[in-house]
Amino acid sequence: MAWQSSGDTNDEMVDQMQAFGVITSPRVLDAFRVVDRAFFVPERVKDAAYSDQPLKVGNVHLSAPHIYGTAMDALDLQEGHSFLNIGSGTGYISSIAAYLTGPTAINHNIELHEDVCAHARKSIDSLNAHLANRQREREQRAAAAEKARLAQSGGGEGGAGGGGGSMTAMAVVEAMGAGWGKGKERGDEDERDEGEAADQEWEEEEEEEEG
């Protein structure tokens, strides 16, 4: 029955996984909706991106969506959980895990084949660009709606906040980042090191001012 979890779009595919009981968690459903499978599917088989079947082109391999859905639903990943994926492949399941565990979590992924790492890096960059564009469009619509509201009420110029799930999703998935290198992706430890360096620089400037 799970093999029937196919659709013409990513949302339809996720709807089918929900309908057949593959995914029951609302958070996991959200993650699969945000992380569109098509971004991780090789161009040669892009027309089967939302088909509930495994796909393989050379070293690049994706399991059937219901396999990933079953696994992520069972793992019950929460904010702050650590995630290690050995043989991380396209980065699809790791990006879903990144959404679920949040930007402060440790998310390490190891992949043997350099061509697969390159594919994963390109896929994640494309997904992040897509999410950023969606966020910009959402902010523009919100700003236009706020401007219209103020005009109707006779108020002055005002700004609209941009917040929303899409930017959060982008930031979370971005934790997967451009660090896919020789078989190992950069982790959040790199970001923490950068933050600690910035904090140290700020403290040194404070000491100089006090002196």
Question: Which sequence positions are flagged as catalytic?
Answer: 63
At position 66, the amino acid (one-letter code) is H
Q: Which of 204, 205, 206, 188 is nearest to 82 (CA)?
A: 188
d(CA 83, CA 80): 9
* Helix intervals (H) in 154-174: 165-174
Cα–Cα distance measured from residue 21 to residue 164, given in angstroms and rounded to the nearest whole number: 28
For 88: left if phi > 0, alpha if psi spans -120 to 50, otherwise beta; the answer is alpha
